Amino acid sequence: MSMARADLHVHSIYSEPPSNWLMQTAHIRESYTGLASIYRQAKERGMTFVTLTDHNRIDGALLLQERYPDDVFTGVEATAHFPEDGCAVHVLIYGLTEADFQEVQRLRADIYALRQFLKERGLAHSVAHAAYAVNGRLSISHLERLILLFDTFEVINGGRGRADNTTWERVLRSLTPYEVEALYRKYRIEPFSDTPWIKGFTGGSDDHAGLFVGRTFTVAQASSVDEFLAALKRKTSYADGCYGDFRSLAFSVGKVFLDYSQAESRKARWSLRGRVASAVFENKPLPLDARLAIGLAKATNGRLVDSSRKPLLNLANDLGKVAGSRDARLEAAYQCVASFCDETLIQMARSLNGGQQRREKIGRRKNGLLKDLKALVPAALAAGPFLGTLVHIHKGRELLEQMEARFNLTQARRLRRVLCFLDAEDMGELSDYRSRFWGCPDDDVWVVVSAEAGKADGEPLPRVLRLPAIARVELPTGKALPIPSFLGGLEQIVSMEPDEVHLATPGPVGLMGLLASKLIGVRCIATYNVEFLQSLKPKADAVVTAALEKYVNWFYSAADEIDAPVADSEWAHAEAEEARNVLSLSVHPIRAPLPYDDTRIPA
């Protein structure tokens, strides 16, 4: 008997309308992917069997099975609820008939009754993305009850991040008969089987856009559909394939909205934006109007190109050089957005540096600043989808931490990772800051600097993360601060999976750390840098000084906590007093002590 594969979580155009209010109001479907496309992609990516798990619908699965009866089985993603409080959970059910589906629809308002039906009918099933709060009501108590109610769980979901997936899998693998018995005494829910501490595992792409079908899948020993479903019920399957990330989620959302706009509007389908997007997502040839627009842009050196259309034409130009798979085109699209954001920051740095050198009048300087800020709008819109998915994919962080504490997994995880951001120009400054944390053996501390920061003479630097620098902004003091690549820097920081962020500078590197902490929801502590503003005041004009004061005030008020490092007591007192004067009442309340000695700045 050979090993078989199936992507057990896929959506099609037949899926029920989404629960999201905005998408319902705009009549946007969960998916616009056709059945033939799903089947073709699954087979191209090595799936032995194919299924559909549309939200509370079975129409598409029945049609697909009718077309390919030998290697397709039915499926549905049923939205079940805990009747006590309405908490929603998604349960994937396989191999069901139309009559079974009608009964599922009737019972899914009560997850206990649905579980009993699945058990009596002997239907293969799996709880989808259990650690994801579908309607915002999920708690540790619900997860404990799910452990008793079901024996098979999805542990690699292609629409969720690595942390969500791996933490829940560790919880399930850590279960013991004693733990399950304790849960039974707590909730008085009969476990699903005689060995409820042994769980079965599945994986699925959770694809809504027709981009990632078959990238995440379930593996089981089987030579037929019946044997594959039997393996799910015996709990002998396992999950494999790709986890989700903010990039894949952003492209999925973008593809759904593209499909919606093209389905609703012929104009959108034939617009330059729509046709270039089709070239990215559907691997179609670049349209003639895009090629003509690229030629015009090159001939005029970009002078006749509107700034809002520039990234689109750059992308079209890059696509003309990309041959091969859709993956290569998605990568080209991401790099195009990243480059556009960086180009905008480079232009802004040049404008600021030029203004400093020319000593422009105050009125002209204000107009220049406003013009620079307006130029950021198109870049912010281009990067917006990626920033939004970064927030979404890290939304359940607090629940994951509760799960680790509840199931005693804290000791098994890696050391707490702390990222410290500073504008280091030489090894002495870097070493001084890093040495503050080296007395914390329970932390994995990294110093984050720009790629231009000083290096040791032939000496390797352990645990230093260098963000790619794209430009420098010159200060009136003569010092120049490096500006990191926007999306490139964020991606590096996120890949480190930090548990805490420390900011030693309000400069561009520190600003990148602050932004990352807010996007991924980790605690942010800022070390007040009195010299940053004080050294600029005598040399900067009124406009620059006022702008810097507002920026510094905002920067520190955005942190969760502020500390002033201890040197001699008189100096520490003076620095803390300066921080109070500058920050006024905008400092957030201090919530917990730092792992090293410091002087507190009260709110």
**Predicted pLDDT of residue 86:** 94
CA–CA separation, 156 and 326 (whole Å): 23
108 versus 345: the higher-pLDDT residue is: 108
How many residues would you count in the chain? 603
DSSP for 453-472, written as a single string? S---SS---TTEEEEPEEEE
In this structure, are strands 75-81 and 238-241 parallel, antiparallel, or unpaired? unpaired
**Predicted pLDDT of residue 473:** 82
CA–CA separation, 131 and 153 (whole Å): 11
Instruction: Taking residues 218-233, report their average pLDDT.
Output: 96
For 200, the enclosing helix (H) or strand (E) is strand 200-204
35 versus 568: the higher-pLDDT residue is: 35
Ramachandran bin of 317, using left for φ above 0, alpha for ψ from -120 to 50, beta for the remaining angles: alpha
474 pLDDT band, cuts 50/70/90, is confident
537 pLDDT band, cuts 50/70/90, is low
Instruction: Taking residues 360-367, report their average pLDDT.
Output: 53
Instruction: Taking residues 131-142, report their average pLDDT.
Output: 93
CA 243 to chain centre: 11
**Predicted pLDDT of residue 21:** 61
Instruction: Taking residues 509-531, report their average pLDDT.
Output: 89
| DSSP-derived secondary structure letter, 242 | P
In this structure, are strands 443-450 and 464-467 parallel, antiparallel, or unpaired? parallel
**Which residue's entry shows tokens 């010299």?**
531
User: Which residue type is seen at 267?
Assistant: K
**pLDDT of residue 33 exceeding 70:** yes
Which of 155-169, 244-258, 278-292, 540-554 shows the lowest mean pLDDT across its residues? 278-292
| DSSP-derived secondary structure letter, 258 | H
For 78, the enclosing helix (H) or strand (E) is strand 75-81
**Predicted pLDDT of residue 461:** 53
Percentage of the chain beyond pLDDT 70 is: 69
Is 11 exposed, middle or buried, given 0-12, 13-18 or 19+ CB atoms closer than 10 A? buried
Q: Which domains does the chain have, with CATH numbers?
A: 3-244 (3.20.20.140), 249-390 (no CATH), 414-600 (3.40.50.2000)
**pLDDT of residue 270 exceeding 60:** no
595 versus 101: the higher-pLDDT residue is: 101
Percentage of the chain beyond pLDDT 90 is: 45
Those residues with Cβ within 8 angstroms of residue 390's Cβ, 6 or more apart along the chain or in another chain: 246, 490, 494, 519, 520
**Which residue's entry shows tokens 């093209």?**
262
**Predicted pLDDT of residue 352:** 73
Which of 51-55, 206-210, 576-580 shows the lowest mean pLDDT across its residues? 576-580
Tens digit of each residue's pLDDT (9 = 90 or more) over 399-444:
888 888 888 886 666 678 899 898 765 455 555 555 555 545 557 8
**Predicted pLDDT of residue 568:** 44
Angle between helices 508-520 and 486-495 (to 10 degrees): 60
341 versus 297: the higher-pLDDT residue is: 341
What is the pTM for the complete model shown?
Answer: 0.84
288 pLDDT band, cuts 50/70/90, is low
600 pLDDT band, cuts 50/70/90, is very low
In this structure, are strands 523-527 and 561-564 parallel, antiparallel, or unpaired? parallel
Instruction: Taking residues 201-224, report their average pLDDT.
Output: 96
227 pLDDT band, cuts 50/70/90, is very high
**Predicted pLDDT of residue 103:** 97
Mean pLDDT of the chain: 80
34 pLDDT band, cuts 50/70/90, is very high
Tens digit of each residue's pLDDT (9 = 90 or more) over 138-185:
999 999 999 999 999 999 999 998 888 999 999 999 999 999 999 999
